[in-house]
Amino acid sequence: ETGVTQTPRHLVMGMTNKKSLKCEQHLGHNAMYWYKQSAKKPLELMFVYSLEERVENNSVPSRFSPECPNSSHLFLHLHTLQPEDSALYLCASSQDGQGSDTQYFGPGTRLTVL
């Protein structure tokens, strides 16, 4: 399989549930990202990992917890979410996390919080 894959593609959860989103990149990249895409709003960068170390955390609520066990895999652990967290969560990767890099996106996980 090539590119950036994400599972699950759709997720419905209650506010008390705990779930995880998974991202895998098959491009040999060293940087991975989580974005949140809400209707009519710009893409919001949540987390950046470069060489498996988190280098950016854009003041994301602690109910979102990222994990990057290696340069090919990225997780987003979710717990006690709110309905306003319903959105499309996109994973991306790039070669080295530099300003000149091209980002490659996965298809996203459509999350609905009831």
Q: Which amino acid is it at 108? A: G
Among 46, 68, 87, 90, binds other proteins (CB under 8 A): 90
10-49 positions binding other proteins, by CB under 8 A = 31, 40-43, 45, 48
Alpha carbon distances (Å) from 59 to 32, 44, 48, 70? 18, 11, 12, 23
Closest C-alpha among 21, 44, 39, 41 to residue 107: 21
Q: What letter does residue 111 receive in the DSSP assignment?
A: E
Contact window for other proteins (CB under 8 A) among 13-21, 60-68, 69-77, 99-107: 99-107
71 sits near other proteins (criterion: CB under 8 A):
no
Point out which residues bind other proteins (CB under 8 A).
4, 31, 40-43, 45, 48, 50, 55-56, 90, 92, 94, 97-108, 110
